[in-house]
Chains A and B, each alone.
Chain A
Amino acid sequence: MLKINNLHASVEDKSILKGINLEVKPGEVHAIMGPNGSGKSTLASVIAGKEEYEVDKGEILFEDEDIDELGAEERAHKGIFLSFQYPIEIPGVSVTNFMKTAINETRKAKGMEDMPANEMLKMIREKSELLDIDRKFLSRSLNQGFSGGEKKRNEIFQMAMLEPKLAILDETDSGLDIDALRIVANGVNKLKSKDNAVIVITHYQRLLDHIVPDFVHVLHDGKIVKSGGKELAHELEAKGYDWIKEGVGA
């Protein structure tokens, strides 16, 4: 599904990713861990198509197509979803209207008609129940005055509505208490299938107790320096990141 080959990326001439190789197949859950500043969020943004980031070398293939030239919205239409670490507040646009716009624009790009209103409402009801979201919440302005937990739950709600093939969760666990974490993780788990894939980007192992990864990769200084199974996350939790850094330095 996703294949990243020798990816180098920079922002404002500062090199951040220095040769990433990663392959994600349908049905898999990958975790990307690493210390602050290792390039985790950059990797997520580059895959999703943030324009500030320049791809200097290498390629990102999504379903065998090079997506480097595609805008963020075109990547979204192909089924790539990024759950933001810091979701943006959009006053004056309700969660519901935002989702309707996103879904109908995606359908339009695929040459489909707008989703009928009753179908949309039914979907909104189902997905909001899945994430234990109050209906009143949906008529509020997008992310405006939302608590940290509400913002993240809203991100996963959007993911549920858009039904992406590849979901990238960028530090979705940060700012969540244990109850919110469980709700978010349950939501993600229920959306998982053999046809879609998830990349979980996190600093800590605790989210991975709930969303169990098939593979764990450790990012350090713009490179994946170690890959392994879910037990690698526990090892990192116990030992911290220093032994990785030392291992690389040595």
Chain B
Amino acid sequence: MELKEKLVSSFLAFEDNIDVHSPVHDIRTEAIKTFETEGFPTKKQEAWKYTSLNSILKHDYSVFPKNENALEFKDVKKYFIHDIDAYKIIFVDGKYSSYLSQTTHDGIDVCLMSSALSKPKYRPIIENYFNKIAPKNSLSSLNTAFSAEGAYIHIPKNKLVDKPIQIIHFSTGSEAALMLQPRNLVVVDENSHVQIIERHQSLTDNPVLTNSVTEIFADKRAIVDYYKIQNDKQTASLIDNTFVNQKQESLAKVHTFSFGGKLIRNNLEFYQNGERIDSTMKGITIIGDKQHVDHNTLVHHIEPNCESHQDYKGIFSDNSTGVFNGKVVVEKEAQKTNAFQANNNILVDDKATINTKPQLEIFADDVKCSHGCTIGQLDESAMFYLRSRGIPKKEARALLMFAFSNNVLDSVTIPEIKQRITKIIANKLGVNIGFEL
């Protein structure tokens, strides 16, 4: 049976297990219909021209993992940013692990989507926010249909969350092939500030396909600082759908660090519903072998006096492929918009590929929009400079690639993340510059 049919027929069984009086029952039913009609996206669609899902859809994924697997913290510690205190929402094979987690209801809610969907006290938030900005396309709808578990974060107004929140989805290989559909909801009320770190991590070589949806709502003057660390096994694939809705004077930043996995597609969309909003998205992609990473971004400037900043760097080796498709829409009312977009790439090997496409749709006349894509080799004069100091060619190249990607980290506000990413980059590029990390 093809994956699509399997999913559609599984939905009936899934519905049997959950409360039909749930506030999202109708939304799920609607969503599975959308998915059934549309199916998985294909290369015929413009937004999927350079990314084919065929190779990852062929496995016989189990949709509801049966076994619950306990993990010891010491065995998975390295996947945590463990040198800082943090709230933790941890899932193992799609199931919540209370043992590895540290949630809270003390003034803020850092807990589970499953309880938010079932307990009456969360109902107003669910009704106001759940599935409100996720577009009704096939992959988001598929996730919505099966949405049952994930992170639920609600920060009431005027709260500065004292420590970052880590969300990690582990898969243990208990199934021959596993499909996960985590659903996260992040609601940050007026004047509040939160930092979130998200990671998907497979622990075996069994295939894993994750189709994740995260909806983020940043109210007036809220600050949301979100980090995605994508450094998974070569047998794990991720379709990450993240949607951010911002109100006036809010600041939302999403950093995406893509270093591993078989195929990664990041659909990242920002909607600016208010004035003086700042949306920032940055990414570093360093891949090799036959890996494929696709960044598909959208910033929708709806109101005046807002800014957006996009800065994506990519280094592609071997037969790897990168895609960057950055769309910026500036509505007629959105005067005085400042929108910047940069996508710079280095192709290390002849067989590596990057497809980069800026897409600007500007309907306002008083705006500053810039975009630039580069695909290049390393600067020869910089190479000469390093070599003239005794650094051999190979090391000089690595050091320059390190410098090329590393400056995206300037906007990272958690020093431990900066250090961790710096270290991963250095390892990836084979740079040994004696950091005190």
Contacts and interface: CB of A to CB of B under 8 A. Distances in A.
B406 A92 contact: yes
A66 interface: no
A93 B388 contact: no
A124 to B, nearest CB: 12
A76 B396 CA distance: 14
Given A88-B379, A92-B402, A97 B435 contact: yes
A102 B387 contact: no
Interface stretch (A9-17, A104-112, A181-189): A104-112
A162 B392 CA distance: 15
B402 A93 contact: yes
A105 B389 CA distance: 9
B406 A72 contact: no
B385 A109 contact: no
A86 to B, nearest CB: 8
Which of B384, B391, B399, B407 counts the most chain A CB atoms within 10 A? B384
Interface size class of B (residues with CB under 8 A): 20 to 34
Interface string B392-426: 11011001101111110100000000000000000
Contact of A48 (B382, B388, B400, B433): B388
Which of B379, B400, B403 counts the most chain A CB atoms within 10 A? B403
A84 interface: yes
Which of A50, A75, A92 counts the most chain B CB atoms within 10 A? A92
A182 B400 CA distance: 33
B390 A76 contact: yes
B33 to A, nearest CB: 49
Contacts of A91: 403, 406-407
Interface in A44-85: 45, 48-52, 71-73, 75-77, 81-82, 84
A73 B402 contact: no
Contacts of B124: none
Contacts of A49: 384, 387-388
Contact of B385 (A88, A97, A141): A88
Contacts of A45: 384
Interface string A126-155: 000000000000000100000000000000
Contacts of B399: 90, 93, 101
A19 interface: no
A25 interface: no
Given A101-B395, A101-B434, A72 B403 contact: no
Contacts of B395: 101, 105
A81 B385 CA distance: 11
Contacts of A100: 433-434
B339 to A, nearest CB: 23
B55 interface: no
B9 interface: no
A73 B392 contact: yes
A87 interface: yes
B83 interface: no
A98 B406 CA distance: 14
A52 B380 contact: yes
A162 B389 contact: yes
Contacts of A42: none
Main secondary structure, interface of A, reads helix
Contacts of B387: 49, 71-73, 76
A52 to B, nearest CB: 7
A18 to B, nearest CB: 23
Contact of A105 (B392, B402, B405): B392
Nearest to A168: B388
B435 A90 contact: no
B23 to A, nearest CB: 48
Interface in B366-390: 379-382, 384-390
B433 A90 contact: no
A196 interface: no
B382 A90 contact: yes
A109 B406 contact: no
A158 interface: yes
Which of B395, B433, B435 counts the most chain A CB atoms within 10 A? B433
B434 A71 contact: no
A75 B400 CA distance: 20
A72 B388 contact: yes
Given A72-B387, A76-B390, A82-B388, A101 B433 contact: yes
Contacts of B393: 71, 73
B407 A92 contact: yes
B296 to A, nearest CB: 27
Contacts of B384: 45, 48-51, 72
Contacts of B400: 90
Contacts of B389: 73, 76, 98, 102, 158, 162
Nearest to A72: B387
Interface of B: 379-382, 384-393, 395-396, 399-400, 402-407, 409, 432-435
User: Lowest 7 CB-CB distances: which A-B pairs, in order?
Assistant: A92-B406, A76-B390, A72-B387, A106-B390, A102-B389, A91-B407, A88-B385
20 contacts: A49-B387, A51-B380, A72-B388, A73-B393, A75-B388, A76-B389, A76-B390, A88-B385, A90-B400, A92-B402, A92-B405, A92-B409, A93-B402, A97-B434, A98-B433, A101-B432, A101-B434, A105-B392, A105-B395, A162-B390
Given A92-B407, A105-B391, A109-B390, 17 more contacts: A49-B384, A49-B388, A76-B389, A88-B385, A90-B385, A92-B403, A93-B399, A93-B402, A93-B433, A101-B395, A102-B391, A104-B434, A105-B390, A114-B434, A141-B403, A158-B389, A162-B389
